[in-house]
Structures are given as structure tokens and as C-alpha cells.
Amino acid sequence: MFVKQISIFVENKPGRLMSVTKVLKEGNIDIKALSIADTKDFGILRIIVNDTQKALEILKKADCTVTTTDVIAAGVEDKPGGVADMMQALYENQISVEYMYAFAKKIEEKKAFAILRLDNNEKALKVLADNGIKLLSAEDITTL
Amino acid sequence: MAGYWEKKYECAPLHEMKALQSFRLSQTVRRVYENVPHYRKRMDEAGVKPEDITSVKDLYKLPFTYKQDLRDTYPYGLFAVGMDKVVRLHASSGTTGKQIVVGYTENDITVWKDCCARALAAAGCTNEDFMHVSYGYGLFTGGLGMHYGAEHLGMTVIPVSVGNTKRQITIIQDFGSTAICATPSYMLHLAETMEEMGISKDDIKLKVGILGAEPWTEEMRQQIQEKTGIKAYDIYGLSEIIGPGVAFECSEQTGMHINEDHFIPEIIDPDTGEVLPDGVQGELVFTCITKEAFPLIRYRTRDIAMLKREKCSCGRTLVKMMKPAGRSDDMLIIRGVNVFPSQVESVLLQLGNTSPYYQLIVDRVNNTDTLEIQVEISPEMFSDTVKSIETQEKVIKDAVESTLGIAATIKLVEPKTLQRFEGKAVRVIDKRKK
């Protein structure tokens, strides 16, 4: 049972991630999961979406460099050691992990949460709050 | 006062120099007409016979020789002697990966040694000096050219070649080098490495540097002189003509004396080919009048310069050329190596799965030239793993380096973000230029 992942080449320059995700927004594509691999000069945006064919079409039309890869979406027990147990099983069967990232989980109805690593957290807190974006506190996370 | 090596020529009265040039020119033209089919064809096409060339005043009648002619006749098509007479080959990089080969007879090597020895003597070097040669040895003419010239003058030559800067500084200290040949950018790099190592200019014996193979500014000269305590002299040359030693600076440091008893200079309008008078800037053209193996006739150097014939305080009467202000085409000199943007293009095309859209960013960081090549990523190159993309970047990097002969960093950029070929594409951004 495979899932199609779309990878997009994203040059490291201001506004690039915004414009790529805007293309998806305009195509009404829902991102179900995402991660970014970063290097000094470029990043690879990897996404799982609701409509892969359509997403590929609009990304190519927008001159994005894209590729698709078969990946596995595995559900683990949402409890301490859930990931470790899965890793152990893979390791015992000589399977290596190239990369992994978490699926956006429905924490509240119609909301998906992402972890952001930012260079100016103080400012970001204000900007996100001003835009009506709900932020989870460390306490919220522990009580999920 | 710095000495002469061949005073008879270096200080010859103008009328004697013109007579010598005229004699040598007519002989050379006769020889190339007889021995080199390319020149005969060109002269026939232009309706010029060897007997029409009896004086330097007739020079303008001869057709130009272009770099493309050297490529078209690669490797030995322009040689004017049999290979049994050729004792040395050198090569310089050309466009589309094709290099240019030049040859020397035993006598050509002697001429070259004399030209370099004149430059060294003019900079104050004598047989008591230790010459540290930091130019690359090999097909590049810099290393061996200056090496032979310095030996010819009787200097103690230390053939260090390029690389391992700290070791070079230890050698300068331990061997007591008093003179050095290097590119100006490498000289500055040496100076900065010395500072890092805690070695001051008083800890070394260097007093003079003969620096060339790349354009440099007066500010850079001042910086080098202050940091290292040496007197820095410019030297000019190109492999096609002979290598280093075509022209050199004297104690006045206001332009380079051309060894015009061997190489007749002209300044022309690069668009019309019209010969321009002294004091006017244009493209520098050389005619070799003593070379046996590879005598170029009216060779278009694509260097921009100006000639000045005035009394020099050093006593030399050799005409002076004012520093090249630029090239008339797109060739770059990076760390002393000739680089053509189209070489990069051909590498990318040869690799197959890369896009041919690229841009070169040349800069100077810590006084060393840097080259970044931006390449648009192609769908074939792209992958979902960083590892795979970086492997492909390395393939490009290795291929570019082996073609250009210098290191470069590769930066992948998004498709259609670099300028296209329509109109005049800016393939090179040279941040070294003021």
C-alpha cells in the first residue's frame, strides 16, 4: 500500500516557499502532510496532497521542478515508544529510513497543526496572533 | 637603478629599432608565406605578396590572425617549422573546451628567456637573488617561462609552483627568497596567510615581486607593497605570443615596456580594424618577428591597451603599453587561468541530463578569485533526496574543474530564473570590477 509523495525543488531565497504554496492554494489543493529538507542553497519541499494529479499539473504549469515518489504512510500507536517500536521493527529487517516526517493530525475539527522553526520567535508570536492563528502552548502539547 | 639585460635592444634609438623590425618582419612574412598554408591562403586572398612587406610601415597590409584561426588549425596547423625543430609545447585553454597549442624551437626558448630576464633585471633582480616561482608549472607558460628567465639571469630558482600556502611561506623564510613570481591575487593571499601565521614582513627577505597573468589595479599594488614590503612590478604576456615577458615594468612603474624587437605592437579599432595612433586606447595586436615555431602575424589579443612612446627615466626606449583596461570579448581571467563562459556551457551539454542555462559569478574573497556557477536544475537531475542531488552537483563540479582547470562552486537554481539567450544574455557577473 503506497502513497504518492510530491517533491518540489525550492531555491533558498525569500518568498519562494510562499509562492510555491500559493500555487497549491490557488488550485485548491489540501496539503495533508509536509516536510522540508534543507541544504545551504536549496530545499526540497515534500508533500502529500488530496489530489496528486491536479497538484502535479498546476506545479508544472508554474515552472516548478517536481518529482513523485512512492512512500508508506504508517500509523503508529500515539503513546510513548510508538515510533521507537516501528524503528526497531524496520532495523531488525535491515530497512533504513531515508527521511521521515509527521502527518498533520486533526487536533481540533478542521484544523491541522504544523511545527514552525523561525528565526524571530518573539515577532512571529505577535504576527501569528494578529492573524488569528491559534498557537499551542507547551502545556497544550503535553495534554493532547 | 635596476640593470639592463640587453641594453643594445632595450635602449636602441628609434630609427635603429624600426630598421631592425622592418628587416625581421620581411623575413618572417616570407617564411610564413612559404611554410604555413594558412598564412599563404590569407595573404593570397588579401592580394598581398611577401615582397610587398619591406618595412614596418607595410604591416597594415597583412590580414589579422584571430584566436579562431588557432582553433581551426589545432593542434599544429600554424607551426612554421617541422616538429623535429620543436623542443617544447605549451597550451592555453580556449572556448568549447578546445585548447590552443603553441610550440617553441630551441632559439624561441632563448628569445623567451631573454625577454623574461629583461623583465627581472628591470625589477632589480641579479644573480645574487633567490627567485621563488609561485606560478603553476605545466602547460601554463607562467611557471616554466619565468623559471627559465630567472635561471638565464643566474638567479637561484626555487620552483615551488602553486598550492600549500603555509609551506610556501616556510620556504620563503627558510630558503631566504628575495624575489617572487606569482599572480597578484595569490601574492595578497600569501601576505594574509603570513599575518595569520604571525610572520611579519621583517621576518622575510623578499624585496621584489614580478606579478602578472591577471589584471590588477593600482590599489592592489599599493596593498601588496604595504603588506609585504616588496616592490611589485607588473609583467604582461600571453601564450600565443610567447608567454610572460612580452612586456614588463621598469623602476618607473608607469606602464610596461614591450620587447618590440621581438613583438611589434599595434593598437587598432576592434570594430573597423583601423590602426590607431599612440596615446589612443584600442585593441592590442602583436606580430612576432623572431619566433621560429609559432610566429603569429597581426594577432588580435582582444586586450584593450594604449601605446606610449616617450622618454623613460629608466633609459629604455622600448615603447610602453598602458595596462590592459579590459578584454574586448568575454574571456575571464580567474586565478591566472583563462576561462570562457562557453566552456561551462559545453560541459553542461556534454553531461546530458543538466540544463544548458548557467551564469558565472566571479568575486574576490580574501584576495583570491572565486567562481560560482549557477545552473538551472533539470527535471532529470531532481530527486526527493538531498543525497542524490548533491551527487549530481559533484559530477558537474568535477567536470567543470577538469575542463577549466580551476575550482568552482556549483549552485543549483530554479528553472527559467536565469536569463535566456534571446538578446544579449549576461552570463558573467564579475564582482571584482569596481
Find the closest chain A residue to B410 by CA distance: A41
When pLDDT is cut at 50, 70 and 90, the band that residue B422 belongs to is very low
Which residues in chain A are closer than 8 Å to B386, comparing Cβ atoms? 37, 39, 44
Identify whether residues A51 and A33 lie together within a single domain.
yes
User: What pLDDT is stored for residue B59 in this prediction?
Assistant: 97
CB contact, 8 Å: A87 with chain B?
Answer: no
Assess whether the previous peptide bond of B75 is cis (omega < 30° from 0): yes
Mean residue pLDDT of chain A comes to: 82
When pLDDT is cut at 50, 70 and 90, the band that residue B95 belongs to is very low
Position B6 pLDDT exceeds 70: yes
Domain ranges of chain B: 7-329, 334-430
Pick the CATH number of B334-430 from 3.40.309.10, 3.50.50.60, 3.30.300.30, 3.40.50.2300: 3.30.300.30
Which residues in chain A are closer than 8 Å to B416, comparing Cβ atoms? 63
Higher pLDDT, B233 or B433: B233
Higher pLDDT, B304 or B235: B235
Q: Chain B residues within 8 A (CB-CB) of chain A?
A: 377-379, 382-386, 389-390, 411-417
User: In terms of CATH, what superfamily is B7-329?
Assistant: ANL, N-terminal domain (3.40.50.12780)
When pLDDT is cut at 50, 70 and 90, the band that residue B128 belongs to is very high
Mean residue pLDDT of chain B comes to: 89
When pLDDT is cut at 50, 70 and 90, the band that residue B285 belongs to is very high
Choose among B379, B385, B390: nearest Cβ to A65: B379
When pLDDT is cut at 50, 70 and 90, the band that residue B235 belongs to is very high
Identify whether residues A23 and A84 lie together within a single domain.
yes
CB contact, 8 Å: A46 with chain B?
Answer: yes
Higher pLDDT, A7 or B338: A7
Identify whether residues A47 and A100 lie together within a single domain.
yes
Verify whether the Cβ–Cβ distance A67 to B385 is below 8 Å: no
Verify whether the Cβ–Cβ distance A44 to B384 is below 8 Å: yes
Identify whether residues A95 and A33 lie together within a single domain.
yes
Q: Which domain holds residue A15?
A: 3-104
Higher pLDDT, B144 or B354: B144
Identify whether residues A11 and A47 lie together within a single domain.
yes
Q: Which of A3, A42, A47 to mutate to test the interface with B (most CBs of B within 10 A)?
A: A42
> pLDDT tens-digit profile of B324-342?
544 445 678 888 777 777 6
Position A95 pLDDT exceeds 60: yes
User: What pLDDT is stored for residue A32 in this prediction?
Assistant: 81
Identify whether residues A9 and A74 lie together within a single domain.
yes
Identify whether residues A67 and A46 lie together within a single domain.
yes
Identify whether residues A90 and A112 lie together within a single domain.
no
User: What pLDDT is stored for residue B25 in this prediction?
Assistant: 97
User: What pLDDT is stored for residue B428 in this prediction?
Assistant: 85
> pLDDT tens-digit profile of B155-209?
999 999 987 888 999 999 999 999 999 988 788 878 878 988 899 999 999 999 9
Phi-psi region of B213 (alpha: psi -120 to 50; beta: other; left: phi over 0): left
Identify whether residues A10 and A81 lie together within a single domain.
yes
Identify whether residues A90 and A111 lie together within a single domain.
no
When pLDDT is cut at 50, 70 and 90, the band that residue B90 belongs to is very high
User: What pLDDT is stored for residue A138 in this prediction?
Assistant: 62
Verify whether the Cβ–Cβ distance A42 to B379 is below 8 Å: no
User: What pLDDT is stored for residue B54 in this prediction?
Assistant: 95
Identify whether residues A17 and A73 lie together within a single domain.
yes
Verify whether the Cβ–Cβ distance A16 to B414 is below 8 Å: yes
ipTM, interface predicted TM-score of the complex: 0.76
Identify whether residues A28 and A54 lie together within a single domain.
yes
Verify whether the Cβ–Cβ distance B386 to A39 is below 8 Å: yes
Give the gap in angstroms from C-alpha A124 to the nearest C-alpha of chain B: 28
Of A42-51, B111-120, B181-190, least confident by mean pLDDT is B181-190
Q: HSE-up of B209 (CA within 13 Å, CB side)?
A: 29
Tell me which H or E stretch contains A44: strand A42-49
Verify whether the Cβ–Cβ distance A44 to B389 is below 8 Å: yes
Task: Please count the structural domains in chain A.
Answer: 2
Which residues in chain B are closer than 8 Å to A9, comparing Cβ atoms? 377, 382, 412, 414
Q: Distance (Å, rounded) from C-alpha B16 to C-alpha B9?
A: 9
Verify whether the Cβ–Cβ distance A11 to B383 is below 8 Å: no
